[in-house]
Structure 1
Amino acid sequence: MTRVLHIITGLGRGGAERQLLDVVRHTAGLVDHEVAVLTPPGPVAAALRDHGVPVHEVGMRGNRDLAALPRLVRLIRAGGYDVVHTHLYRACVFGRIAARMAGVRTIVATEHSLGHGHIEGRATTAAVRMLYTATERLGTLTVAVSPTVAERLCGWGVPPDRITVIPNGLDADAFAFHAERRARVRARLGLDPDAFVFGAVGRLVPTKRFDLLIRAFAYLDDGLLLIVGDGPQRAALQRLADGCGAAGRTMFAGDTGHVPDMLSAMDVLAAPSEQETFGLSVIEGLAAGLPVLYTACPALDDLPSGMVPPQARHVPTGLGAWRAALALCLSQGPTRWPPPEAVQHYDIRVHAKALAELYETHRHRPGNRAQAAGAPRQYERAENAGL
């Protein structure tokens, strides 16, 4: 069995952390996973340990804590890992250096959060870009979570033959709608069982454009707005809701860790972000049977022709467009849809199996070079992967 050490910056409830947990769950018996977390562990660490996965705490105190590097090298050497797999910017930089110093031959990175002009919600300065691309050369290959991310990596100078596209995945069953759960969650949140609830899920950072959503929602005469997530913009968004008269109808639920529950309480999912690396919350909303309004979603853009479901509506950025879209949903009333084919297209089992096969292939490849030069390699669909 392939022994893999995942190195990740933190283990909060972000998309990258949840993807790591889901991959571990769905490759049990195929891969022997361990996880090293650079910063103090969050709630996903406990979930990993509940699944029998050792979690090593590196205790890194900041981006320039170079003392963490030798600790990481010692951990990797002691573990005898076949593969080191890094996630998120800081872990990719330190993890690839440490893995190379420790003599690991197969070093994989997943790029979860590379946008235009930002990475993980932070500006991509010249120094950030230089450090990223320099350490990328120390690895074997980089996994992009969408063709959109692969294009951005190529734009940064990463050779296409060093990129493999394996999209994010989700467990559709976990998001399936149940009326009993909806009633229970609304009661717990103190929401009127008959209220029309607009919802949004994500980290509260400027790139998600929750400010635009709040402004558009404030023009409606009815309905509630439920915002799920946390981040540095929370206080500013609360002030905005106060200032535009939406405070009494806007709830900030925080980082609950129960996204399927929160989706069950909503009637529409709104995703106004102008750029995304994948758009996982949109696919999760569709899995929960919700109509979805979105501005950017590579996961839908990359679907085969004709597979984008009618309940997913593209809304151009801008206050007027979002006001009109929200008002139309409110006038139509609550509607629940069966999960579309697009949800099954991103089955987590396919994602996990593709990663397990990637580990096995590259640990045995002479020199551990990426595939022959050309376009980034695409993962195999479920119908071709034996699932």
Structure 2
Amino acid sequence: MRTLHVITGLGTGGAEQQLRLLLRHLPVHSDVVTLTNPGTVARGLTADGIRVVHLGMTGNRDLGALPRLTKFVRDGRYDLVHTHLYRACVYGRFAARLAGVRAVVATEHSLGESRMEGRPLSAGVRALYLAGERVGRATLAVSPSVAERLVRWGVPRHRIHVVPNGIDVERFAHDPALRDPTRHVFGLHRDDFVIGGVGRLVPGKRFDVLVRALAQLPDYVRLLLVGDGPEEQRLRRLAQELGVVRRVVFAGERPCASPSGRVGDPDLPALMNAMDLFASPSDEEAFGLAVVEALASGLPVLYVSCPAVEDLPPHLESAAVRVPGDPESFARQALRIVAARPFGRTPSPAAHHYSIARSAEQHLRLYGAALGGSDSRVRE
């Protein structure tokens, strides 16, 4: 089976890194087209042996991208096209059908209650999304919460399949030998209590809440923010105004797996080894991948919104605590966890529930259903 994955961009975002991890576990031939921004994840995919093509799309209204993508799909003789993220779902689904590919599936990674990938959910955004959805075979929702939002949008329930994101649980297992060397890279002391946050530095992630909470905590509490984005300078100014600028570390964009080594150039799992508490102040998430990764690292977690935790089966427990979204609540709960030190670091059962192997198996079954073929066709 020849599959083509179409994605809006390949910078270091959750959906982009999820695609790379998925392709490592799917036993099918896969190519990737990125409409824009062939960034860090594009280089990682290439290193994994995946062919990555940059379509060179110049903006949302670059309609010339549609015939270019259609020709690429037709020339590649793909059996199935899988699209990811809003712009790629619109252009990719139409291009696949114009090229004669009927097995078209899309993953909805980022649909919140009021925003999709940071953009407000307008009537126009919804109408264009639904028009593209009708030419596909199935829509994969990364959580039951996203599935319900899709139904409310007007996507027929029978066309929606819940396929949660997956993580490499072993990659995030706590390694105490990495704690001090990783802290040293960022000027964090052994006795510091480190609160971590991971994600794009954009308004929707609400990392300003953590900076304000930090100002209410003792001086030995530090904040480690992993990610980059347009909000970085505003967050730095806020930290300066609150007198905590020396206690905030901006680690920048970090991959889930760094080829250069986890101590000299720490990747995300190494950075989680350096944390004592993980905090997610975003009030609108489609899944909450970073929270699951933190649970795999054995960290206590404070969160405002996380469908991955909220949709867990009743028999599974997690160390995640839901809190209101104000700085005072984060500070109060953080102090409680500080007082409980030291604590053990074992992966939460919730993390194993979201293993990438399980996610890949679900993808294969849905690919087979979309193709209308037998199990043997899926395993080709």
TM (norm. structure 1) is 0.91
Q: How far did residue 250 of structure 1 move?
A: 0.6
Question: In 2, are the aligned partners of 1:10 and 1:39 still within 8 Å (CA)?
Answer: yes
* Matching of residue 336 in structure 1 with residue 347 in structure 2: no
Partner of 1:59: 56
Matches within 5 A, 1:208-219: 208-219=205-216
SS at match of 2:361: helix
Question: In 1, are the aligned partners of 2:85 and 2:108 still within 8 Å (CA)?
Answer: yes
Question: In 1, are the aligned partners of 2:211 and 2:239 still within 8 Å (CA)?
Answer: yes
SS at match of 2:212: helix
Whole-angstrom CA distance in 2 between matches of 1:157 and 1:141: 14
Question: In 1, are the aligned partners of 2:11 and 2:37 still within 8 Å (CA)?
Answer: no
Whole-angstrom CA distance in 2 between matches of 1:335 and 1:79: 53
* Matching of residue 270 in structure 1 with residue 269 in structure 2: no
Q: Deviations over 1:21-64 (max 9, x none)?
A: 1111011xx21110001013011112111221111111111111
SS at match of 1:130: helix
Partner of 1:13: 12
Whole-angstrom CA distance in 1 between matches of 2:315 and 2:321: 14
Match of 1:194 among 176, 191, 194: 191
Q: How far did residue 261 of structure 1 move?
A: 1.4
Q: Deviations over 1:143-178 (max 9, x none)?
A: 000000000101110010110000001010000111
**Percent sequence identity over aligned pairs:** 51
SS at match of 2:107: strand
Whole-angstrom CA distance in 2 between matches of 1:207 and 1:49: 31
SS at match of 2:81: strand
Partner of 1:220: 217
* Matching of residue 242 in structure 1 with residue 240 in structure 2: yes
Gapped runs of 5+ residues in structure 1? 367-387
Q: Deviations over 1:50-80 (max 9, x none)?
A: 2211111111111111111111011000010
Question: In 1, are the aligned partners of 2:301 and 2:320 still within 8 Å (CA)?
Answer: yes
Gapped runs of 5+ residues in structure 2? 256-266, 375-380
Q: How far did residue 341 of structure 1 move?
A: 1.2
Whole-angstrom CA distance in 2 between matches of 1:334 and 1:142: 44
Question: In 2, are the aligned partners of 1:196 and 1:334 still within 8 Å (CA)?
Answer: no
Whole-angstrom CA distance in 1 between matches of 2:30 and 2:368: 13
Partner of 1:131: 128
Partner of 2:308: 299
Match of 1:94 among 91, 94, 97: 91
Matches within 5 A, 1:53-202: 53-202=50-199
Partner of 2:296: 287
Q: Deviations over 1:263-284 (max 9, x none)?
A: 1110100011112111111110
SS at match of 2:104: strand
Q: Deviations over 1:198-221 (max 9, x none)?
A: 110011122212111111111112
Q: Deviations over 1:79-128 (max 9, x none)?
A: 10010000001100110111111110111000000001100122112211
* Matching of residue 308 in structure 1 with residue 317 in structure 2: yes
Partner of 2:200: 203
SS at match of 2:92: helix
Whole-angstrom CA distance in 1 between matches of 2:300 and 2:37: 37
Question: In 2, are the aligned partners of 1:204 and 1:229 still within 8 Å (CA)?
Answer: yes
Question: In 2, are the aligned partners of 1:3 and 1:33 still within 8 Å (CA)?
Answer: yes
SS at match of 2:106: strand
* Matching of residue 322 in structure 1 with residue 330 in structure 2: yes
Question: In 2, are the aligned partners of 1:291 and 1:335 still within 8 Å (CA)?
Answer: no
Partner of 1:252: 250
**Bigger shift: residues 329-338 or 204-213:** 329-338
Whole-angstrom CA distance in 2 between matches of 1:106 and 1:159: 17
How well do the aligned residues superpose, as a CA RMSD in angstroms? Answer: 1.3
Whole-angstrom CA distance in 2 between matches of 1:40 and 1:278: 23
TM (norm. structure 2) is 0.93
Whole-angstrom CA distance in 2 between matches of 1:336 and 1:276: 28
Question: In 2, are the aligned partners of 1:291 and 1:336 still within 8 Å (CA)?
Answer: no
Aligned partner of 2:365: which letter? E
Match of 1:38 among 35, 48, 52: 35
SS at match of 1:199: strand
Aligned partner of 2:348: which letter? P
Q: How far did residue 335 of structure 1 move?
A: 2.4
SS at match of 2:32: strand
Whole-angstrom CA distance in 2 between matches of 1:356 and 1:33: 13
Question: In 2, are the aligned partners of 1:18 and 1:44 still within 8 Å (CA)?
Answer: yes
Q: Deviations over 1:267-322 (max 9, x none)?
A: 1000111121111111100111111111111111111114122x221112223212
Aligned partner of 1:345: which letter? H
Q: Deviations over 1:172-206 (max 9, x none)?
A: 00001112222221111121122111110011122
Aligned partner of 1:277: which letter? A
* Matching of residue 352 in structure 1 with residue 349 in structure 2: no
Aligned partner of 2:310: which letter? D
Whole-angstrom CA distance in 2 between matches of 1:235 and 1:131: 34
Question: In 1, are the aligned partners of 2:186 and 2:249 still within 8 Å (CA)?
Answer: no
Work out the number of aligned pairs and report it: 362
SS at match of 2:9: coil
